[in-house]
Amino acid sequence: MKVFITREIPAIGIEILKKAGIEIEQWEEKRPLTQNELIDFCMQSDALLSAGYNNIDAYFLNKCNHLKVVSLHSVGFDNVDVAEATKLKIPVGHTPGVLNSATADIAFLLMIAVSRKAFYCYEKIKKGAWKFFEPTADLGIELEGKTVGIFGLGNIGFEMAKRCKGAYDMKVIYHNRTKNPKAEKELNAEWVSFDHLLERSDVISLHSNLSEETRGKFDRNAFQKMKRSCIFINTARGAIHNEEDLIEALEKRIIWGAGLDVTNPEPMDKNNPLLTMPSVAVLPHIGSATVEARNGMARIAAQNVIAGLNGEKLPFPVNPEIYRA
């Protein structure tokens, strides 16, 4: 049995696969694979371990419908046509849980960085523009006792809410498809409608999946409903907000600031106007970039491959319905 891996992953994942006697072929180049290259490699393999947001659409899946498993080295699965995989009975695996703390830390870091214009001030020093102490310059806003609105209160959203509550005694409100009893009990979190989330939050932090329902959901209309002092944080997926509308909202001071770990497209262009705005902080999609999280992701991704190749239920399937009936 052979697995094709689309980018270097932590050694622990390779060790697990080798121990299970699985042959490994890995993409060695730094550039991303084209879809045709991906198809060519997968034609010679029984499983795919996708570690670089490859486009796993209906065309790919139908060409490679012999695959026994598509294992993602990520929790997000918006790069996969899951409905088509399910139709073709190809199990898709992902890596939930192990990156909750790492990603919530980045959301929390961005929230504080934006509230105190930290990235902008750091750039100021590097440019030699720090001349003297100015009592009225670079003023931020404090977070203590404010309201954080979590959009998508699942695993990572819960960890972000916990940090906000614990560090700043923030009031937690959230908008999610379903209520989250654990967050309501432990964090006194309150479910609110989408409009109330926009209107009541001092900080809005996105933690939902990207889907056709959430694509572009944070647009001009949504920004206009937010407080003028609102800080907008996105560590979920860049396509959940509309970038043009976000730039406009910041330029016209409709909202106060924004912190992004994800952009659309990625990478962000180095001349993007967001990169020079005082109350904006941008990071290059490093939410899960800790040793602990990445090792956990590699381990789970390898375990999903092994289960798929053995014809067993994946430990972490995205489409568990293929095992029913």
Ligand X SMILES: O=C(O)[C@H](O)CO
Catalytic center residues = 237, 266, 285
Q: Which residue has the tokens 């944070």?
A: 218
76 touching ligand X, by CB under 6 A: yes
Q: Where does this chain touch ligand X (CB under 6 A) — which range of 4-12, 70-78, 112-120, 301-309? A: 70-78
**Among residues 42, 56, 61, 75, the one that binds ligand X under rule CB under 6 A:** 75
288 touching ligand X, by CB under 6 A: yes
202 touching ligand NAD, by CB under 6 A: no
Q: Any residues with CB less than 8 A from the CB of 270 and at least 6 apart, and which?
A: none
Q: Where does this chain touch ligand NAD (CB under 6 A) — which range of 7-15, 26-34, 115-123, 232-240? A: 232-240
Q: Where does this chain touch ligand NAD (CB under 6 A) — which range of 16-24, 25-33, 38-46, 147-155? A: 147-155
Q: Quote the CA–CA distance of 274 and 257 in Å, as a whole number.
A: 10
74 touching ligand X, by CB under 6 A: yes
Q: Smallest distance, Å, CB 159 to ligand NAD? A: 8
288 touching ligand NAD, by CB under 6 A: yes
292 touching ligand NAD, by CB under 6 A: no
Q: Pick what 35 binds: ligand X, ligand NAD, none; C-beta below 5 to 8 Å, kind-dependent.
A: none
Q: Any residues with CB less than 8 A from the CB of 105 and at least 6 apart, and which?
A: 163
- State both tokens at 100: 């909750």
Q: Pick what 208 binds: ligand NAD, ligand X, none; C-beta below 5 to 8 Å, kind-dependent.
A: ligand NAD
Residue 11, classified by CB atoms within 10 Å of its CB into exposed (0-12), middle (13-18) or buried (19+), is exposed
How many CB atoms sit inside 10 A of residue 145's CB?
Answer: 10
Q: Where does this chain touch ligand X (CB under 6 A) — which range of 74-82, 134-142, 156-164, 197-205? A: 74-82
- The residue (of 76 and 91) whose beta carbon lies closer to ligand X is 76
Q: Any residues with CB less than 8 A from the CB of 218 and at least 6 apart, and which?
A: 204, 206, 232, 234, 240, 241, 242, 245, 246
Please calculate the CA angle 33-78-98 and round it to the nearest 5 degrees. 95
Dihedral (C-alpha) 101, 71, 294, 234: value to the nearest 10 degrees?
-50
Three-class SS string for 49-92? Answer: EECCCCCECHHHHHHCCCCCEEEECCCCCCCECHHHHHHCCCCE
List the strands of the sheet with 171-175, edge to edge: 190-191, 171-175, 147-151, 203-206, 231-234, 257-260, 280-282
Q: Smallest distance, Å, CB 109 to ligand X? A: 16
Q: Pick what 154 binds: ligand X, ligand NAD, none; C-beta below 5 to 8 Å, kind-dependent.
A: ligand NAD
Q: Quote the CA–CA distance of 243 and 249 in Å, as a whole number.
A: 10
From the centroid of its chain, how far is CA 223?
20
Q: x/- contact string, 101-140, with ligand NAD (CB under 6 A)? A: --x-------------------------------------
153 touching ligand NAD, by CB under 6 A: yes
101 touching ligand X, by CB under 6 A: no
The residue of the chain with the least Cβ separation from ligand X equals 76
6 touching ligand NAD, by CB under 6 A: no
Q: Quote the CA–CA distance of 8 and 50 in Å, as a whole number.
A: 10
**Among residues 152, 259, 308, 317, the one that binds ligand NAD under rule CB under 6 A:** 152
Residues in the chain: 325
Q: Return residues touching ligand NAD (CB under 6 A).
A: 75-76, 96, 99, 103, 152-157, 175-178, 207-211, 213-214, 235-237, 261-262, 285, 287-288
Q: Return residues touching ligand X (CB under 6 A).
A: 74-76, 99, 287-288
